[in-house]
C-alpha cells in the first residue's frame, strides 16, 4: 500500500472529490485502484494567508513503481497486532471493576476471545447517570456514587470525547474501529484530532454495553467494590456492596481488572490497606480558562479563508525558569465548563463539548505540574490525593459553599485582586459562579506559573491573555495522583490483579485508557506469570 502525503485542498469537498483530485494530479487510472481510504485530514493554518486542508491518502494500485518516484509518495506497512497466547481457562469469568474506557475495552476484548466478563460499576447506566449530572447542575444535590467522575463511560463521557493520544500502538486503530462499530462518526478514523462529543458518547457506550451483555457479559451497576480476598497471594474473591438493595456479596475472581478511574480515592485507600503496592506520582492542577470561540477562531485561522472550518482548538506549553511546566489540556472548542465534583463540599471543574462544538465559549484546562515533593508526605502513596482534596475544598469555600465555582478575570488574577465584574466573556459553569481571588486558593508556585504561562501563550495565540478571559477553579483531576505498581506482564504484586487505565496511573485520556484496557485483558488471557 502507498501513502500519498501533503495533499493541499483549498475548498470544502467530498471524499470522492478528494480521490478525483489525486487521480488527476498523479495521472492514475481509476481502474488501477484496488483499494483506497483517507488516512489523515488536518487543517494547516500556520500561514494565515494560506489556510488549507492537508490530506494523506492510503492507496493500492496495480503498478506502484511509477508512483514511488514522487517525493510525496511512500510505501507503508500496516501495524500488525501481536499474536495472542490463550492460557486462561474459558470457565473463568474475569471481573472488571470500573466501566470507563479501560473497563469497557477490557470487557470487549474478553468477549472477542470467548470469555464472559463481569463488570462492576458503582455508578449508574450512562443514560441514568446523565439524569444525576443534570440534577446536580440544576439543584446542587450531588450523587457521590454517580456523577461526572463515576458511572458507565467514565469521566470522559462528560468531556469532548477526544481520541488524540501520544501513544503509538496497533490497538489505537482497534479502538477507533470499535467506536465506529458502535455508532461514532466514520471521520474519526482519519481526522488528525478526532473527537466524538459527549452527545454521541452516551449512545455509543450504551451500544457497547448491550453488545457485551448479548455475548454473555454481565454488568452490575450501583454496585461498589469494597474489598477483596486472596489465597496464596492470588486474588480469589471480590466483595461488593449493592447500593440499591443494601446487600453485600462475594464474587469469585481469579482475574481482576482494576480499572477504577482517577477519582476512586476510597478504593485507592482500600487496596493499599490490602497490600497492593502504590506510589505517589506527578500530576497537574490549575484552572479552566474561557475565551470567546470567535476570538480563538480569528487567532488560529485569520479572516481570509473561505473554508467552512470547524471551531478552532489549540495546544500550548510553557517551561518556566523555575523548572515548572504550564500547559493546556482537554481543550473544548465551543464547549462549557462542567461541575465535576465527586465528593461533597468540593469544587472540581472539567470541560465538555457536544459534537457540533457550537457553543459561544472555548475552554481549556491550564495546568501546572506538581510532584510528590510538593505534597505533605512525599513517601505516602496517598499524599497526592490529600493535595488535590485541599484545593477542591478551598474552591468550595471561596465559591460560597453552595457548589458555585470561584471565578476571576485574568487581568485581576494577574494583579492579585478580587474580581468585581464580568467582562466580555461570560462564564459557562453551572450551577453558578462567585467572583473571587483565585490566588488565595492555590499555592503561589501554581498561581505564578499560571500567570507567566498564560502571558507566554498570548505570544503564540493572540488574545489568550485577554483581560476579560475567565478563570474557573479548580481543575485537579487531569490524571491520577497515584500509580498502582505492576510488572512487565501488567500484574500487580498480588497475582491475578491487573491495575489498568487512568486510575492505576497508566493512561491519560480516552484513547490511552482504552488501549490499556485491551492490553490488560490480553495479558490476563495469556497468564504469563501463573
Percent of the chain with pLDDT over 70: 100
Q: 422 pLDDT exceeds 70? A: yes
pLDDT the model gives residue 186: 94
| Mean pLDDT value of segment 409-425 | 98
Burial of 138 (0-12, 13-18, 19+ CB in 10 A): exposed
pLDDT the model gives residue 305: 82
Kindly state whether residue 80 falls inside one of the protein's structural domains. Answer: no
Please tell me whether residues 241 and 297 are part of one structural domain: no
Query: pLDDT at residue 175 above 80?
Result: yes
Which of 21, 41, 75 terminates a domain? The answer is 75
Cβ proximity of 176 and 194 under 8 Å: yes
| CA-closest candidate to residue 223, choices 151, 127, 116 | 151
Separation CA 159–CA 353 (nearest Å): 6
Could you tell me if residue 411 is inside a domain? Answer: yes
Q: Decide if 86 is inside a domain.
A: no
pLDDT of residue 500: 98
Give the whole-angstrom CA distance, residue 375 versus residue 99: 30
Asked if residue 331 has pLDDT above 80, the reply is yes
For residue 165 the three cell numbers come to 493520544
Confidence of residue 83 (pLDDT cuts 50, 70, 90): confident
pLDDT surpasses 70 at 446: yes
C-alpha cell belonging to residue 137: 447542575
CB atoms within 10 A of CB 415: 14
Length, in residues, of the chain? 530
pLDDT tens for residues 493-510?
999 999 999 999 999 999
Judge if 34 and 100 occupy the same domain.
Answer: no
Looking at the fold, whether 149 and 249 belong to one and the same domain comes out as: yes
The 10s digit of each residue's pLDDT in 37-49 is 999 999 999 999 9
Pair (429, 488) in one structural domain: no
Task: Give the pLDDT confidence score for residue 62 in this predicted structure.
Answer: 87
The answer to whether residues 305 and 421 belong to one domain is yes
Output the domain CATH number for residue 20. 3.30.70.2700
Of 75, 105, 125, the residue at which a domain comes to its end is 75
- 75: burial class by Cβ within 10 Å (0-12, 13-18, 19+)? exposed
Q: How confident is the model at residue 530 (pLDDT cuts 50, 70, 90)?
A: low
Residue 13 domain-assigned? yes
Residue 106 has a pLDDT of 98
Residue 302 has pLDDT above 80, yes or no: yes
Task: Supply 467's cell numbers.
Answer: 483581560
For 375-404, b where at least 16 C-beta lie within 10 A, e where not — what string?
A: beeeebbbbbbebbbbbbbbbbebbeeebb
- What's the whole-model pTM score? 0.95
* Average pLDDT over all residues of the chain: 95
pLDDT beyond 70 at 529: no
Q: How confident is the model at residue 379 (pLDDT cuts 50, 70, 90)?
A: confident
- Is-contact 169 175, C-beta < 8 A? no
In whole angstroms, what is the distance from residue 61 CA to residue 225 CA? 54
pLDDT top residue among 82 and 55: 55
d(CA 330, CA 498): 27
Q: Is residue 317 part of a domain?
A: yes
Is the pLDDT assigned to residue 21 strictly greater than 80?
yes
Identify which has the larger pLDDT, 394 or 67.
394
The residue-averaged pLDDT of 129-135 equals: 96
pLDDT in tens, 183-242: 999 999 999 999 999 899 999 999 999 999 999 999 999 999 999 999 999 999 999 999
Residue 303 has pLDDT above 90, yes or no: no
- Long-range contacts formed by 227-233: CB under 8 A, 24+ apart: 227/270, 227/274, 228/253, 228/256, 228/271, 228/274, 228/497, 230/274, 230/494, 233/493, 233/494, 233/495
Residue 181 C-alpha cell reads as 462499530
Q: Pick the last residue of a domain from 44, 75, 106.
A: 75
Query: Cα dist. 147→63, 178, 193, 244, 335 in Å?
Result: 56, 25, 27, 16, 19
As for how many domains the chain has, the answer is: 3
pLDDT category, 356, cuts 50, 70, 90?
very high
Domain annotation covers residue 175: yes
Burial of 525 by CB count in 10 Å (0-12 exposed, 13-18 middle, 19+ buried)? Answer: buried
85 assigned to some structural domain: no
| String of DSSP letters for 340-402 | ---STT---EEEE--TT---SEEEEEEEEEE-GGGSS-TTSTTHHHHHHHHHHHHHHHHTTSS
Domain with 466, as residue range(s), is 282-475
Task: Tell me the three state secondary structure of residue 521.
Answer: helix
Residues 217 and 188 occupy one common structural domain: yes
Average confidence (pLDDT) over 409-427: 98
Structural domain contains residue 84: no
How far apart are alpha carbons 513 and 336 in whole angstroms? 23
> Is 80 exceeded by the pLDDT of residue 512?
yes
Amino acid at each position: 500500500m502507498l501513502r500519498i502525503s501533503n495533499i493541499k485542498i483549498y475548498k470544502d469537498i467530498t471524499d470522492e472529490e478528494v480521490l478525483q483530485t489525486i487521480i488527476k494530479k498523479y495521472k492514475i487510472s481509476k481502474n488501477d485502484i484496488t483499494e483506497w481510504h483517507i488516512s489523515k485530514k488536518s487543517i494547516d493554518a500556520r500561514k494565515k494567508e494560506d489556510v488549507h486542508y492537508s490530506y494523506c491518502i492510503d492507496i493500492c494500485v496495480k503498478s506502484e513503481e511509477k508512483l514511488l518516484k514522487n517525493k510525496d509518495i511512500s510505501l507503508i506497512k500496516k501495524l500488525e497486532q501481536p499474536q495472542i497466547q490463550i492460557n486462561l481457562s474459558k470457565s473463568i469469568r474475569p471481573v472488571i471493576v470500573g466501566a470507563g474506557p479501560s473497563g469497557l475495552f477490557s470487557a470487549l476484548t474478553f468477549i472477542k476471545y470467548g470469555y464472559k466478563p463481569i463488570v462492576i460499576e458503582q455508578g449508574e447506566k450512562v443514560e441514568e447517570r446523565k439524569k444525576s449530572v443534570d440534577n446536580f447542575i440544576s439543584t446542587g444535590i450531588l450523587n457521590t456514587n454517580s456523577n461526572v467522575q463515576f458511572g458507565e463511560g467514565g469521566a470522559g463521557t462528560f468531556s469532548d470525547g477526544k481520541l488524540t493520544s501520544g501513544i503509538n500502538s496497533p490497538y489505537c486503530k482497534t479502538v477507533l474501529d470499535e467506536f465506529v462499530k458502535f455508532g461514532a462518526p466514520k471521520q474519526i478514523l482519519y481526522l488528525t484530532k478526532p473527537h466524538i462529543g459527549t452527545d454521541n458518547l452516551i449512545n455509543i457506550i450504551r451500544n457497547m454495553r448491550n453488545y457485551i451483555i448479548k455475548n454473555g457479559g454481565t454488568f452490575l451497576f450501583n454496585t461498589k467494590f469494597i474489598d477483596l480476598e486472596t489465597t496464596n497471594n492470588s486474588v480469589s474473591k471480590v466483595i461488593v456492596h449493592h447500593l440499591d438493595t443494601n446487600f453485600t456479596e462475594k464474587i469469585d475472581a481469579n482475574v481482576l481488572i482494576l480499572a477504577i478511574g482517577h477519582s476512586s480515592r476510597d478504593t485507592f485507600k482500600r487496596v493499599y490497606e490490602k497490600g497492593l503496592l502504590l506510589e505517589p506520582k506527578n500530576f497537574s492542577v490549575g484552572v479552566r480558562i474561557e475565551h470567546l470561540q470567535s476570538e480563538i477562531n480569528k487567532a488560529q485561522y485569520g479572516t481570509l479563508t473561505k473554508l467552512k472550518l470547524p471551531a478552532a482548538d489549540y495546544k500550548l506549553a510553557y517551561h518556566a525558569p523555575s523548572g515548572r511546566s504550564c500547559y493546556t489540556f482537554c481543550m473544548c472548542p465551543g464547549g462549557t465548563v462542567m461541575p465535576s465534583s465527586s465528593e461533597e463540599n468540593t469544587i472540581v471543574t472539567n470541560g465538555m463539548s457536544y459534537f457540533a462544538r457550537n457553543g459561544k465559549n472555548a475552554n481549556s484546562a491550564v495546568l501546572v505540574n506538581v510532584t510528590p515533593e510538593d505534597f505533605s508526605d512525599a513517601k505516602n502513596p496517598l499524599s497526592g490525593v490529600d493535595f488535590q482534596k485541599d484545593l477542591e475544598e478551598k474552591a468550595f469555600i471561596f465559591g460560597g459553599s453552595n457548589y458555585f465555582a470561584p471565578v476571576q478575570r485574568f487581568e485581576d488574577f494577574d494583579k492579585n485582586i478580587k474580581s468585581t465584574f464580568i467582562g466580555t466573556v461570560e462564564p459557562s459553569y453551572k450551577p453558578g459562579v462567585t467572583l473571587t481571588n483565585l490566588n488565595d486558593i492555590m499555592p503561589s508556585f501554581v498561581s505564578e506559573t499560571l500567570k507567566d504561562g498564560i502571558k507566554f501563550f498570548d505570544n503564540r495565540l493572540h488574545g489568550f491573555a485577554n483581560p476579560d478571559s475567565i478563570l474557573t477553579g479548580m481543575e485537579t483531576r487531569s490524571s491520577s495522583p497515584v500509580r498502582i505498581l505492576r510488572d512487565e506482564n501488567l500484574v500487580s504484586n498480588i497475582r491475578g490483579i491487573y491495575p489498568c487505565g487512568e486510575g492505576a496511573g497508566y493512561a491519560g485520556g480516552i484513547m490511552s485508557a482504552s488501549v490499556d484496557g485491551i492490553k490488560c485483558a490480553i495479558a490476563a488471557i495469556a497468564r504469563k506469570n501463573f
